[in-house]
Amino acid sequence: MWYLALAIISIFILFPIYLLFIVALAPSSEIFRSNPALIPSSVSLSSFIFVLHHYNITSSLFLSLETAFIVMGICLILGVPASYTISRLPHKVAYAIVILLFVTEMVPEIQIAVPIASVMVRLGLDNTAEGIALAQSSIILPMITYVMVGTFRTIPPRLRESARIDGASKLKSFTSIELPLALTGISVAAILAWLFSWDEFILAQVLSPYYKTLPVAIYYYSTRGQGGLAAADAFAIMMIIPVIIIVMVLQKYLRSDVLAGALK
Amino acid sequence: MGLAKTIGSNKLEIAFILPLLIFIGFINIYPIFAAIISSFKLPSGYSLLNYQILVRNNNLYGVIGNTVLLTALALTIEFALALATSLLLNRAIRGRSIFRTIVILPYGVSTVVSAIAFTFIFAPTGWYLNEIFNVLGLAHTQINWVRGPLAFLSIAIADSWKTFPIVMLILLAGLQSIPESQYEAAAVDGASSLQQFRHITLPGIYPFIMIALIIRAVQEFNILALPLVLVGYTPAFLGTLSFSIYETFVLGSQNLSSAAATVLLAIVMIFIIVYVTISNRVTGGEE
């Protein structure tokens, strides 16, 4: 009984992923006929080869990579010190800031997309990785900060108090005691920041319609590209395989308290 | 303590947190207010005309109704899936770690890609769902799963696939927070497993359910990327609030788009206030 439920849910989850693979690996003759057979009789890399020849992969790949690393950098530079401070503030002040973070994280991307885009145009940052990254940080930074506040809260305050009694400055106790202890949590948060940027679609689409990140390019190719859905699918698979590997490796760190903050 | 003294003794804290607050102000708070102001703007001055146009030409109330319908559908499906899965994972069954890995997989598939996968299932001509119906002899016509009312169901299912693992993990944390001794005591008193579920499990995970559902409701209200790929941006597309914002923006009416966005923001704010009130009550204002 339990195993039946388990099997049904597993099939529900795995079936779409399986479809992504069999459509991408189907010989091109089969795709144009109808849907490829559920159990493929032959496998072909023709869709992948088509993508490599006809799609502008490298520019999208580099744009996505650059954007994701800038977002990660912004989150680390601004988020680590701020989240540390929030975790040590008196509860009432900390609570007010956490609510502010939560509200900004929950604001619909599409609501701020247009005003941000017009700012980026004025700054000359439209259609650049910097512009997309700044815009994406508006959602991702509050979320990642929130996650890291949780990490710093797990470090007992007495460690810092005893360091202070021993004469260490606040800055010194932060860099030599608390930062090293929080390193795992910070790394997970940084990878999450990277992941969310890599996946982000709306802001990237509004801010940089010509110079496309990977999700925007996949959307474009799936609706208007040559090679149709099968090629867009092959392209998509190249994009998700590294991420699926990251998620599986990170699995044990993706606890609910992390995800509750990083739900978006 | 005077303000100057407070600042003086907390220089490091201020230097640590101020850059974040300035950044959020610039990149987040400012655009929110810019959009709100732009929603009232006309070439001649300020008025409510943009909102009146939304109600008259863009069927604003119908669009809000559609958004509520989609949210309710998606939340029902993903909550049922998440609850079942979390109950399964909370038992000491064999293969639990493999199952946990499988369940977390959708988290790594980006939204646009998951939409493509579901296109293969729901696409009207010759794809899998219609094929399965034909094989079973249930329907011989090609059902269009991504037009009309059925589109809501298709989107709700596709979205649940991507998001229920997160809801599940939150519920699982709730289940694991219930002490085993409560169940043991109930079993001694002769409570059936259904009674145990009703009187121990459900109250125990109630706050977790509320938190997960409200956060997901907010996101469901904003949903755009998934329907954009799955249903497409065609004349007969799905009328939800975020779609209206996108549509009016693409058609070049920024002020109208801002008005729709402000309506969305107002609704989201209600959810946020409810969320903050509930999480306040649950944790006594600690977080």
- Residue to mutate among B37, B120, B244, with most A CBs inside 10 A, is B120
Residue B168 has pLDDT above 80, yes or no: yes
Q: State whether A119 and A34 are in the same domain.
A: no
- Residue to mutate among A100, A244, A256, A258, with most B CBs inside 10 A, is A256
Tell me if chain A has a CB within 8 Å of the CB of B127.
yes
Determine the pLDDT at residue B170: 83
Residue A49 inside a domain? The answer is no
Determine the pLDDT at residue A225: 65
Q: State whether A30 and A120 are in the same domain.
A: no
State the DSSP string of A83-130. Answer: HHHHHHS-HHHHHHHHHHHHHHHHS-HHHHHHHHHHHHHHHT-TTSHH
Per-residue confidence at A262, pLDDT binned at 50, 70, 90?
A: very low
Per-residue confidence at B221, pLDDT binned at 50, 70, 90?
A: confident
Q: Report helix angle A57-88 to A129-153, nearest 10.
A: 30
Residue B30 has pLDDT above 80, yes or no: yes
Beta-bridged to residue B46, according to DSSP, are: B41
| Predicted confidence (pLDDT) per residue in A209-247, tens digit | 888 999 998 888 887 766 677 888 888 888 888 888 888
- Per cent of chain A over pLDDT 90 is 21
Q: Which amino acid is at A200?
A: E
Residue B142 has pLDDT above 80, yes or no: no
What are the structure tokens assigned to A48, written together? 């992948």
Residue A185 inside a domain? The answer is yes
Tell me if chain A has a CB within 8 Å of the CB of B111.
yes
Quick one: which of B209, B182, B214, B211 has its CA closest to B197? Answer: B182
Determine the pLDDT at residue A264: 39
Determine the pLDDT at residue A37: 67
Determine the pLDDT at residue B173: 82
Positive or negative: CA dihedral B51, B54, B56, B57: positive
Determine the pLDDT at residue B20: 93
Determine the pLDDT at residue A35: 64
Q: Which range is most confident: A95-104, A126-135, B100-109, B250-259? A: A126-135
| Predicted confidence (pLDDT) per residue in B244-274, tens digit | 888 777 777 778 888 888 888 888 888 888 8
Tell me if chain B has a CB within 8 Å of the CB of A86.
yes
Q: State whether A64 and A29 are in the same domain.
A: no
Interatomic CA distance for residues B69 and A127, integer angstroms? 36
What are the structure tokens assigned to A125, written together? 């940052």
Residue A51 inside a domain? The answer is no
Q: Report helix angle B96-104 to B60-89, nearest 10.
A: 160
Tell me if chain A has a CB within 8 Å of the CB of B254.
yes
Determine the pLDDT at residue B287: 40
| Predicted confidence (pLDDT) per residue in A24-70, tens digit | 887 766 555 556 666 777 777 778 888 888 777 888 999 999 999 99
Interchain proximity B221–A111, CB inside 8 Å: no
Helix (H) or strand (E) holding B20: helix B11-24
Residue A72 inside a domain? The answer is yes
Determine the pLDDT at residue B61: 86
Tell me if chain A has a CB within 8 Å of the CB of B129.
no
Q: State whether A68 and A38 are in the same domain.
A: no
Domain span holding position A257: 56-261
Interchain proximity B126–A218, CB inside 8 Å: no
Q: State whether A20 and A70 are in the same domain.
A: no
Residues 218-237 of B with CB under 8 A from A: 218-219, 221-222, 224-225, 228-229, 232-233
Q: Which amino acid is at B149?
A: P
Helix (H) or strand (E) holding B209: helix B202-222
Residue A255 has pLDDT above 50, yes or no: yes
Q: Which comes out higher in pLDDT, residue B133 or A238?
A: A238
Average pLDDT over every residue of A145-156: 85
Beta-bridged to residue B103, according to DSSP, are: none
* Residue B79, helix vs strand vs coil: helix
Determine the pLDDT at residue B139: 61
Q: State whether A31 and A119 are in the same domain.
A: no
Interatomic CA distance for residues B13 and A81, integer angstroms? 8
- Residue to mutate among A77, A111, A132, with most B CBs inside 10 A, is A111
Q: Tell me the shortest Cα–Cα distance from A83 to chain B, in angstroms.
A: 8
Q: State whether A104 and A151 are in the same domain.
A: yes
Residue A139 has pLDDT above 80, yes or no: yes
Residue A37 inside a domain? The answer is yes
Q: Which domains are assigned to chain B?
A: 60-283 (1.10.3720.10)
Average pLDDT over every residue of B225-229: 83
Dihedral of the alpha carbons of A107, A113, A115, A119, in degrees to the nearest 10: 120
Q: Which residues of B231-268 are buried (b: 16+ CB within 10 A; e: fewer)?
A: bbeeeebbbbbbbbbbbbbeeebbbbbbbbbbbbbebb
Ranges of beta strands (E only) in chain B are 41-42, 45-46
- Per cent of chain B over pLDDT 90 is 10
Q: State whether A85 and A207 are in the same domain.
A: yes
Average pLDDT over every residue of A167-190: 86
Positive or negative: CA dihedral B235, B241, B246, B251: positive
Q: Tell me the shortest Cα–Cα distance from B73 to chain A, in angstroms.
A: 18
Nearest C-alpha in B relative to A80: B16
Residue A50 inside a domain? The answer is no
Q: State whether A144 and A72 are in the same domain.
A: yes
Residue B49 has pLDDT above 80, yes or no: yes
Per-residue confidence at B21, pLDDT binned at 50, 70, 90?
A: very high
Residue A170 inside a domain? The answer is yes
Tell me if chain A has a CB within 8 Å of the CB of B25.
no
Q: State whether A90 and A150 are in the same domain.
A: yes
Residue B286 has pLDDT above 50, yes or no: no
pLDDT averaged over every residue in chain B: 82
What are the structure tokens assigned to B177, written together? 């927070």
With beta carbons under 8 A apart, name residues in chain A contacting B221. Answer: 108
Residue B283 has pLDDT above 60, yes or no: no
Tell me if chain A has a CB within 8 Å of the CB of B187.
no
| Residue B158 CA neighbour count, 13 Å, CB half | 33
> Cβ contacts of residue B53 below 8 Å, gap of 6+?
B256, B259
ipTM: 0.84
Q: State whether A38 and A84 are in the same domain.
A: no
| Predicted confidence (pLDDT) per residue in B60-118, tens digit | 888 888 889 999 999 999 999 999 999 988 887 777 888 888 888 888 888 889 988 88
Question: How far, CA to CA in Å, does A206 sit from each of A63, A70, A75, A211, B37?
Answer: 15, 18, 22, 11, 20
Q: Tell me the shortest Cα–Cα distance from A198 to chain B, in angstroms.
A: 8
Interatomic CA distance for residues A119 and A140, integer angstroms? 19
Counted across chains A and B, CB pairs separated by less than 8 A come out at: 255
What are the structure tokens assigned to A130, written together? 């910097």
Residue A3 inside a domain? The answer is yes
Per-residue confidence at A168, pLDDT binned at 50, 70, 90?
A: confident
3-state secondary structure B213-253: HHHHHHHHHHCCHHHHHHCCCCCCCCCCHHHHHHHHHHCCC
Q: State whether A73 and A184 are in the same domain.
A: yes
Interatomic CA distance for residues A249 and B249, integer angstroms? 40
With beta carbons under 8 A apart, name residues in chain A contacting B93. Answer: 2-3, 6
Task: Report whether A208 contacts A131 (CB < 8 A).
Answer: yes
Q: In chain A, how many domains are there? A: 2
**Residues, chain A, total?**
264
CATH number at residue A228: 1.10.3720.10
Q: Which comes out higher in pLDDT, residue B149 or A89?
A: A89
Q: Which comes out higher in pLDDT, residue B38 or A82?
A: A82
Residues 48-77 of B with CB under 8 A from A: none
Residue B1 has pLDDT above 60, yes or no: no
Q: Which comes out higher in pLDDT, residue B252 or A196?
A: A196
